[in-house]
Amino acid sequence: MEYFRYRGIIEGFYGKPWEHQERLDMFEFMQANNLNAYIYAPKQDLYHRELWREPYKEEQLQLFKELIEKAGSCGINFTFAISPGLSLVYSSEEELETLIRKITPFLEMGVHSIGIFFDDVPFDLIHEEDRNSYSNLAEAQADFLTRVLQRLESTISAPQIIMCPTFYCNDPNLEYLRILGQRLPKNIDVFWTGPNVCSHEITTSHMQEVQKSLQRPATLWDNYPVNDGGMMPELHIGPYDHRDPELHTHVVGIYANPMALPEASKLPLYTFAQYLNSPSQYNPQDSWRQAVSTLLGEDNLSAMEKFYQSNTISCLEPEEPAYLTNLFKKVQEDFASFRFEQGLRTLREEIISMQATYSSLSAQDSKFFWEIRPWLEEYKLWTDYLDQAMITFSNLFTGFFTADEEQARESLQKALQGRTYLREVLKDAVDFRTRVCGDVVRNFLQQVLRSTVSIELQAEGKEWTALPPGIVRD
């Protein structure tokens, strides 16, 4: 049984588009996982958005031809999308003709599905001609798309249009959506991203409300595993999750928006495909382990599970990594209860495990591991910093509790050196371009600095005080 008409990928992220060969490879991956639809819509392709009126060059069209043929051979419906909303004059016949000329080469190459997107554009009519012709933005967009559909129907058989509205998430009861639903031809599909741009959860009841406003079931543009914009430091490799198994009752299909990292995206996309193909039987964790074993090899499963514990943050899992949070909470509780050896032992075991994980994964040479290398390198840095924190604490405890005064002085001096090192590297960490371990390890190291401030003051011959600089005790 096929639960969704469209089981697809939309290359719709901000940032560097995929390379031609990467798209060809992705089509083979899609075929292997029963995904049947692809939309070309990279925001950074100037001809897709800013220069939408300009035709593609002949050499670009030849690459598109190869993509379209490859998609067809893999059983994938290829949709060419254009995003004219930044400057489009909706009421202009000349603009309509310009758009038809732009998409005609794709129609001639056998494309029957066209995307016309109005996302991330002005919320109001910006041209005087349009303000004189329409009462509101929804009316203008519906009229323009109706005219496009009429032109396509006179040119090819059974054309498909999918549009992305300007208001594509949050409240499904907007007047804009109701007008769009009333005025758009019923055979034009409409995108929706859920309660948020990048939604933590999408429920059947929410999509039922969307369907009511649009007077048709929507198509989900699911912004996972994409990591563009403010999410760029994050690595989204976790399983597809928090989507109701009954979404297919109120959704035409789902397109996942991937990362600019095509190989790394395949890990969550594998789980996405399993959800689409059997939503009621889908288990995110089991699917993810199967994805790792299938795509990266079973030998890498243990190390990848460990690495993922430090890279869980995304719209699907917005909280700090749970494993690390619980581990460092336990370490801090041990220290606070004077169970120093137990706390250090827990810390040491974690560091050894992280070191082994880095060593194992950094030795791999496939493209997946090349793409995630920046996150692996940050993982190693946090491991090194934790190692220094453990040594610092060990020296601190020795310095405080040994009866040997000489050993105490040496240990506290080493603790002071470790503290100085940690303070400097935490300054550097502000400029990290990736985000690994969330803020859990960073916060732990900051607590290390706070708990050892007395030894630095002692070394400088100063009295410890909790009063801020410049305030003198009575």
d(CA 452, CA 448): 6
For residue 259, which of 230, 226, 281, 283 has the smallest C-alpha distance? Answer: 226
Alpha-carbon distances, residue 197 vs 145, 158, 192, 269, 329 (angstroms): 23, 31, 9, 19, 33
Q: Are 419 and 449 in contact (CB under 8 A)?
A: yes
Question: What tokens were used for 364?
Answer: 């791999």
Angle 443-379-346 from CA coordinates, rounded to 5°: 60
Select which of 25, 120, 244, 439 is catalytic.
120
d(CA 302, CA 324): 17
Q: What is the DSSP letter of 202?
A: B
Q: Are 209 and 172 in contact (CB under 8 A)?
A: yes
Q: What is the DSSP letter of 169?
A: S
d(CA 197, CA 170): 8
Angle 152-214-198 from CA coordinates, rounded to 5°: 100
Cis amide linkage into residue 225, ω under 30° from 0: yes
d(CA 209, CA 467): 56
Q: By three-state DSSP, how is residue 7 classified?
A: strand
Q: Are 254 and 6 in contact (CB under 8 A)?
A: yes
474 annotated active-site: no
Token match 């990292």: residue? 261
d(CA 439, CA 149): 50
DSSP state letters, 38-79: EEE--TT-TTTTTTTTSPPPHHHHHHHHHHHHHHHHTT-EEE
d(CA 47, CA 97): 16
Question: b vs e for 187-197, b when ≥16 Cβ sit within 10 Å of the residue's Cβ?
Answer: ebbbbbbbbeb
10 forms beta bridges with: 39
Question: What tokens were used for 15?
Answer: 């940032």
For residue 120, which of 56, 231, 197, 8 has the smallest C-alpha distance? Answer: 197
Q: Are 130 and 118 in contact (CB under 8 A)?
A: no
H or E element in which residue 372 lies:
none
d(CA 168, CA 190): 9
Residues designated catalytic: 120
